[in-house]
Amino acid sequence: MSKQPLTFLRGVGPERAAQLARLKVFTLEDLIFLRPRRYEDRRHVRQIADLQRGEAATVRGKIVAAGIKRFARRTKSVFEFIIDDGTARLHCRWWNMPYMEGAFCKGDDVLVYGKVKDLKPRIMDHPESEIVDSESQDESVHLNRIAPIYPLTEGLAQRWLRALIWNSIEGVLTAMAEPWGGAISNPSQAEALRTLHFPENIRDIEIARQRLALDEFIELQVAIRARRRKLCANATALPCRGDNHLIKPFLAALPFKLTGAQTKVLREIREDMSEGEPMRRLLQGDVGSGKTVVAACTALMVLESGHNVVLIAPTQILAEQHFNTFERWFKTLAVDVELCRAGQRTSMSTTPTISALNRRITVGTHALLEDNITLERLGLVVIDEQHKFGVAQRETLVRKGRYPHLLVMTATPIPRTLGLTLYGDLDVSTIGEKPAERGLLKTFLRAESDLPKVWEFLRKQLAQGRQAYVVYPRVDETDEGDLKSVLTECRKLEKLLKPHTTGFIHGKMKAVEKEASMTRFRDGSLKVLVASSLIEVGVDVANATVMIIENAERFGLSQLHQLRGRIGRGTHESYCILIAKAKTDDARRRLSILQESNDGFRIAEVDLEIRGPGELLGQSQSGLPPLKFGDLRTDLRIIEKSRELAAQFESH
């Protein structure tokens, strides 16, 4: 019954069904799972005379006057009615909504909910309002109770929708089967849905939401487990434990020692690649924690075992950096490192014995996903900055081989709730410490009026032989918005910072132009690189110790943390200076966290809390379904329980 169309219900014709469809309500089940956006406690209606400025409240009274006032040229109007409850009067106004005049009349008994803007006279702008029908038989649905307030669309009245759900809910719940075989109780799903719509008390609403969120997360975890089974179905893992004949000389030649965290992760990876099922592992670590060298060691294990490796990066700059790094690291190990650009493959190996040994690491961007790119004897896929790729792209690359091992890396620390959902089909390793030889990184928040002092500080750093990034949120002055741009500001900084050389890089440049700018910055001939957020991942120049980010309030916290991760990669003390117009408490709070902490995991949790997962990840890239009841910012305990239950249901 619950999958039946809404026209099955009395009073729902084609027009009503079309209105409900705009709310994505198509069936009886959709109707029962329509979540109220808030509740009004109508057991305690306030008197108008007692209202306070800025207070949100529900009041009831009769309309004593109503009408529209139009302004000059009739381009602006306000519909207003005045209600009286015997204690005082309240003016309710709706700007530029003249059609409201047809919904209310003098003499109507109305309920109004909103925030009081002024007291002389008492005013509410755009309050939620509904007419009380004294002859209605279902006033107990709307009055003297905790009333659900649903999302609406044009033509759909709150009272009509509330009454429809009230009259439908028992029949639908009786016909619906309890999910998970009824294994979850207290409350049952049916009890939770009843409470969701018509709660007896406020505290029960959250209990009901948590139960329905648990159902959502179990369904998600079951799908995640099925996705992993599908990827590994009938798969026999390639034995890639290696024998250390490449790793030992590689580690001996490095100018630094691996950290304890890096060594621990490598043990986990070696164990994974020794088992019967292909490795599916996420490697997360804060900026500068040393993930690339772990990826290099993992690649060498695979090469030692007679298989090839592919590494995919989200940008050409990052792909070329990995290519140059691996070519430098592996030049004495008889390993062929090649770069793939949009169908073009370039090898930099000069060792004559390589072709005979046929050990190859292929590095590239999205070009590696193209059908015409073949990858022979593929034993390992490494995906860098995984959050820049979708789940489908990950699977496309894996399918180019015969069940290769998979290592995905991210320098964007992942809040645990997202890790258990977004990457729930992967085992997780974390590098929780940075190499000891790194210099201290300090972050400062400054106003635009402080810029003269900031540029003077930068000149002193440049005079000491250091290099710097200056970041802007847009590329040129033709872009929309009142923001500073890379090209305009670079011209100013060229004059301001003379004799120190200044150049720029941004996403609209041709690949050869980007490469030229980065080459000059890496070799030190370019002292200041003026850039867009293009440099947020992968750029590694140890001598760069200053980063200045203007219009910092326009970037997300995690993005700012990624950007400042481009400095502090050498032994010198480094400085990140955020120039911002932080006008609100929320903006100041966000940016002050970067001053207080260099811990990317804490910053990611705050970013998730403030921005939510949709804006943080982008729904299309995340692979996560929209959640009606679950909250990835707060529901860690529920997500953990859903994983346990999904595993139990799968084993039965």
Backbone dihedral region for residue 377 (phi beyond 0: left; psi -120 to 50: alpha; all else: beta): left
Q: What is the mean pLDDT of residues 469-489?
A: 81
Task: Report the half-sphere exposure of 445 (CA within 13 A, side-chain side).
Answer: 17
Q: Please tell me whether residue 6 adopts helix, strand or coil conformation.
A: helix
Q: Tens digit of pLDDT for each residue in 146-167?
A: 989 999 988 888 889 999 999 9
Residues 6+ apart with CB under 8 A from 311: 295, 299, 319, 322, 326, 361, 362, 363, 364, 381, 382, 383, 384
Using only C-alpha atoms, what is the Rg of the chain?
Answer: 30
pLDDT for the residue 478: 64
Q: Tens digit of pLDDT for each residue in 236-257?
A: 778 898 899 999 999 999 888 8
Residue closest to 195 by CA, chosen among 226, 171, 169: 169
Q: What does the mean pLDDT of the chain come to?
A: 85
pLDDT for the residue 356: 36
What percent of the chain shows pLDDT beyond 90? Answer: 42
349 confidence band (pLDDT: 50, 70, 90): very low
Q: Tens digit of pLDDT for each residue in 544-573?
A: 999 999 999 888 888 898 889 889 888 889
How far is Cα 438 from Cα 572, in angstroms, rounded to an integer?
8
How far is Cα 383 from Cα 395, in angstroms, rounded to an integer?
11
Instruction: Name the more confident of 287 and 537.
Output: 287
> 557-564 vs 600-617: helix axis angle to the nearest 10?
130
Residue type, 74: R
Asked which of 136-145, 243-252, 258-267, 421-430 is least confident by mean pLDDT, the reply is 136-145
| Concatenated DSSP letters of 475-514 | SSTTSSSS--BHHHHHHHHHHHTTTS-EEEE-TTS-HHHH
Backbone dihedral region for residue 155 (phi beyond 0: left; psi -120 to 50: alpha; all else: beta): left
pLDDT for the residue 308: 92
Q: What is the mean pLDDT of residues 134-143?
A: 69
Asked which of 91-95, 228-232, 569-573 is least confident by mean pLDDT, the reply is 228-232
641 confidence band (pLDDT: 50, 70, 90): very high
pLDDT value at 537 more than 70: no
pLDDT value at 173 more than 70: yes
pLDDT value at 269 more than 70: yes
The greatest distance separating any two alpha carbons of the chain, rounded to the nearest whole angstrom, comes to 97
pLDDT for the residue 619: 44
Query: Tokens 């905790």 sit at which residue?
Result: 146
Instruction: Name the more confident of 228 and 15.
Output: 15
Q: What is the mean pLDDT of residues 129-144?
A: 74
Given a contact cutoff of 8 angstroms between Cβ atoms, the answer to whether 69 and 80 are in contact is yes
pLDDT for the residue 213: 95
- What the block records as the tokens of 153 is 């669309």
Q: Tens digit of pLDDT for each residue in 373-388?
A: 777 889 999 998 766 6
652 confidence band (pLDDT: 50, 70, 90): low
Asked which of 122-126, 238-242, 274-278, 400-404 is least confident by mean pLDDT, the reply is 400-404
How far is Cα 629 from Cα 639, in angstroms, rounded to an integer?
12
pLDDT value at 4 more than 60: yes
φ/ψ of residue 481, rounded to 5: 100, 155
Q: Tens digit of pLDDT for each residue in 48-80?
A: 999 999 988 889 999 999 999 888 766 688 999
Asked which of 206-220, 426-440, 636-650 is least confident by mean pLDDT, the reply is 426-440
Q: Tens digit of pLDDT for each residue in 592-624?
A: 889 888 888 888 888 777 776 655 554 444 456
pLDDT value at 212 more than 90: yes
pLDDT for the residue 215: 94
Given a contact cutoff of 8 angstroms between Cβ atoms, the answer to whether 23 and 34 are in contact is yes
pLDDT for the residue 344: 58
Instruction: Name the more confident of 582 and 174.
Output: 174
Q: What is the mean pLDDT of residues 521-532?
A: 92
Q: What is the mean pLDDT of residues 332-336?
A: 89
- What the block records as the tokens of 72 is 């000059």
pLDDT value at 389 more than 80: no
Residue closest to 163 by CA, chosen among 189, 190, 137: 137
Residues 6+ apart with CB under 8 A from 278: 231, 232, 235, 237, 238, 403, 404, 405, 406
134 confidence band (pLDDT: 50, 70, 90): low
pLDDT value at 453 more than 80: yes
Given a contact cutoff of 8 angstroms between Cβ atoms, the answer to whether 89 and 64 are in contact is yes
How far is Cα 597 from Cα 561, in angstroms, rounded to an integer?
10
Q: What is the mean pLDDT of residues 379-400?
A: 77
Q: State how far Cα 269 lies from the chain centre.
A: 27
Instruction: Name the more confident of 371 and 332.
Output: 332
How far is Cα 520 from Cα 501, in angstroms, rounded to an integer?
10
pLDDT for the residue 624: 63
pLDDT for the residue 295: 95
Other Cβ atoms within 10 Å of 281 Cβ, number: 20
First and final C-alpha spacing in the chain: 28
Residues in a beta bridge with 337: 361
| Concatenated DSSP letters of 328-346 | HHHTTTT-EEEEEETTEEE
pLDDT value at 353 more than 90: no
176 confidence band (pLDDT: 50, 70, 90): confident
Residues 6+ apart with CB under 8 A from 479: 485
Asked which of 311-315, 427-431, 481-485, 613-617 is least confident by mean pLDDT, the reply is 613-617
φ/ψ of residue 158, rounded to 5: -60, -45
How far is Cα 244 from Cα 56, in angstroms, rounded to an integer?
68
How far is Cα 573 from Cα 558, in angstroms, rounded to an integer?
22
For strands 528-531 and 502-505, give the pairing: parallel
Q: What is the mean pLDDT of residues 329-338?
A: 90
